[in-house]
Copies of this chain bind each other. A is one copy, B any other.
């Protein structure tokens, strides 16, 4: 018995893929992913129409999706993040049905509770054996954690593993096991290794970014959460890493040992754990080569599924035990609602990912962002898209000052007492507008191009089309 089939086409045929079905993909291959395009090209060649694509994230490399939408091969898209290229087409109204945006935790949760059904999951696997045991840790296209793919494998009616690194049975260090896999296909390449990871992620040198990071680190310090057992999540961007650097310095100075760091993991967080600042790393996705090497070699570095990371359908998730998270924003409004789905002109170029999951779960959610970007103020009366509800956001840190959510009175007092530049969010808005002027309000069209579901599956917001002239 073997589950090996000769080609992607044969796998598609064997699964019984039909018009109208929902197929799923994970995004650990990031902007180097070949698998989504490969499967859709084959489905298109087979004349299959009306597919819904549920991908944990859609990157610019998935631009061929646009053609598949035009040809009605794809008529539905569900994802947690969408890069600017496909996002622009969606914002211009190319897809009849609205895109369904979820969060990383919500996507897994909706599969668990049955509200998001997957007919066929296609898993890009950097290594696999002929029975479907697979892992992201080994092989020429190694991506490290396969965190987001677990729910797909576990809940899809059929699961196809696509690998460029077939190894003898049984794979030694299995992430997703054969019990969930129907077919295995070997292909020449599942991705472009150069684009799977960013290679190295570097701390910003931009003085504005460093100023913001330094202030954010001060907020962490004076919040009272920076103590023995501290847990922390930050992103891969230069400013987020700078926060980590400043936090590390404070931990070192005060002899603090943290419990865990989490999230998309970078080499920077690996180094912090290696130096003993964190007991363990919970990794749902690797952002760079160092993280991939670490998850392969380092027993302190654990792969976690999206369920364990952030699912609201789980009895608890790691985000529920998170102390502090550092998050970005394209817009924040005076009610602390955050937009990470669209740019200031309303074009889709992002998504929640784990943004609202970690904001909801953590004890302290800090938004870091420059007060003005591309001559537009960060803070607005109302965000163009509510990605993360204001009630889960605690602090907004800009280079010109810090705004604390009025719900966090005690925290505000602590930060004021520490001498940090605490302002009302309206004041920050005013400062920005004094510099860049009050921006013209963006007028969106009438067509709903995307629905943003909160992590519990309820409708949080709708995104309208951008009026093109």
Q: A residues bordering B, Cβ < 8 Å?
A: 1, 3, 131-132, 159, 168-170, 172-174, 177-182, 229, 259-260, 279-280, 282, 299-300, 302, 304, 307-308, 311, 314-318, 320-321
**A178-B317, A315-B178, A321-B1 known; A279-B172 Cβ under 8 A:** yes
> Are A170 and B259 closer than 8 Å at their CB atoms?
yes
**16 A/B residue pairs, CB under 8 Å, sorted by A:** A3-B315, A3-B316, A132-B315, A168-B279, A169-B259, A169-B260, A172-B302, A173-B299, A173-B302, A177-B308, A178-B308, A178-B314, A178-B316, A178-B317, A178-B318, A179-B317
A151 to B259, CA, bound (A): 29
> Are B169 and A316 closer than 8 Å at their CB atoms?
no
Closest chain B CB from A217 CB (angstroms)? 24
A417 to B308, CA, bound (A): 56
Q: Is the interface of A mostly helix, strand, loop or mixed?
A: loop
The 3 closest A-B pairs by CB, nearest first: A179-B314, A178-B316, A172-B280
A321 to B174, CA, bound (A): 16
Which residue of B170, B180, B259 is within 8 Å of A260 (Cβ)? B170
Residues of B within 8 A of A173 (CB): 299, 302
A201 to B443, CA, bound (A): 77
> Are A181 and B315 closer than 8 Å at their CB atoms?
yes
Closest chain B CB from A114 CB (angstroms)? 13
Residues of B within 8 A of A172 (CB): 279-280, 299-300, 302
Residues of B within 8 A of A170 (CB): 259-260, 280, 282, 318, 321
